[in-house]
Amino acid sequence: DAVQGSASVLRCFSLLLYLNEEWGEEDGGQLRIHLDGGGDEAPPNTSPNYFDVQPQGGTLVLFKSDAIPHEVLNTNKERMVVIGWFNRAVTAADVTNLTSEEDRTKAVLLLVAAGLVSVGLGMIFMG
């Protein structure tokens, strides 16, 4: 999920809620959760270790974004899903890593977002 140089590195948890009412295995689009670390090939003398989640309406999936390698298999039918992420707070280092010298507006917006998240969390915990 995390693409270096993009805000996706801030993701802590991923959430998927499938909305398809009628879905068959032949329709594809399964979420493949890799238990073997992922990658294109299994280590020598081992079989790939994964399980597939069917995109059946009402199915909710929540997992740790940076710890669970995953992929979506080819889909043969329209796949309806609500996707969301819970991100960690933005740090000054993130702003440096996610922006270039020429992109000052993006840096300022990231700092404002970080401040709002920090203030919001403070208000929640201080009640």
Residue 86 C-beta-side C-alpha neighbours within 13 Å: 7
CATH code, domain carrying 44: 2.60.120.620
50 and 98 housed in the same domain? no
- Per the listing, tokens 């890593």 go with 97
Choice between 32 and 97, residue whose per-residue pLDDT is larger:
32
Residue 85 C-beta-side C-alpha neighbours within 13 Å: 13
In a domain, 2, yes or no: no
60 and 82 housed in the same domain? yes
Q: In Å, how far from its chain's centre is CA 83?
A: 8
Choice between 89 and 94, residue whose per-residue pLDDT is larger:
89
What is the span of the domain harbouring residue 31? 7-87
102 and 122 housed in the same domain? yes
In a domain, 102, yes or no: yes
For 49-66, the pLDDT digits (tens) are 889 999 999 999 999 988
49 and 110 housed in the same domain? no
For 6-30, the pLDDT digits (tens) are 667 778 889 999 999 889 999 999 9
